[in-house]
Amino acid sequence: MDNSLAGRTALVTGGSRGIGKAVAKALYGAGARVIICGRSAKSLVAAAKDIGEIICIPADVRKDVKKLFRFVDRLDILVNNAGGMEHFGNFEKTGLDAWRSTFELNLFSAVEVTRAALPHLRKSKGCIVNIASDVGRRPFDMGPDYCAAKSALISLTRYLAAELAPVRVNAVCPGPVVTGDWGAAAIKKAAGRTLAGRTGTPEEVAATVLFAVKCAYLNGAVCGVDGGSVRTP
């Protein structure tokens, strides 16, 4: 067992399944004390059974941030993973309410959680990893609001790296990763935009997050783990 993170406490938002769960498992495997939050109590229980002795907090990061931090006494690592797509509409069919909802889930939640975590992270000189997306680096047909929100999260990461130092702030941008129910056609289409010719795994993204956490010289970076789907800075 890797104990390189022994004595450190990590919070992973949206940590009960998919990429978040894989990140929580990787941090736990490296010896960290892990706290996860999620909206589904059932998924939290299932994650704990799979990972081990972690702390699970039922919380929606869009409205339960104060509740979440009642259970956090120290913090070294924050992974802002909570987010997701709520629809696949094009620009003309995407109303302002949808834009607001997408930004609340994918950007504003990270802003609020980071704000609440800062006193702890400054004390520990810890780090933040924001889970963005390849569509934040090169937008395509994944919804204009989602692409814009992930791009904003990348920009926020670069800004905060300078303002919050020595707290380190990096972003990890996954390419297509199959979580949940994807049809064969969707998987084939997603794999076709990568140089690897396949979709990624949550564990591959988690390995990149773990690197960002451990590498003390990495700050303000945007790490693409996308099979080569994006080949620009």
Q: Largest Cα–Cα distance of the chain, in whole Å?
A: 51
Which DSSP string do the residues of 133-162 spell out, in sequence order? -GGGTS--SS-HHHHHHHHHHHHHHHHHHH
Dump pLDDT digits (tens) for 60-69: 999 999 989 9
- The percentage of residues in the chain with a pLDDT greater than 90, rounded to a whole number, is 85
How would you list the strands of the sheet with 77-80, edge to edge? Answer: 55-58, 33-38, 9-13, 77-80, 127-131, 168-174, 222-225
| Number of other CB atoms surrounding residue 233 within 10 Å | 6
- Average pLDDT along the chain: 94
pLDDT tens sequence across 118-141: 999 999 999 999 999 999 999 987
* pLDDT value at residue 209: 98
Residue 152 has pLDDT above 70, yes or no: yes
- Closest to 128 in 3D by CA, of 26, 31, 221: 221
Domain residue limits, the chain: 9-225
**What local confidence, expressed as pLDDT, does residue 71 receive?**
82
Across the range 20-45, mean pLDDT stands at 97
Confidence at residue 67, expressed as pLDDT on a 0 to 100 scale: 87
Residue 179 — very low, low, confident or very high, per pLDDT cuts 50/70/90?
confident
Supply the pLDDT for residue 1.
66
In the CATH scheme, what is the code of domain 9-225?
3.40.50.720
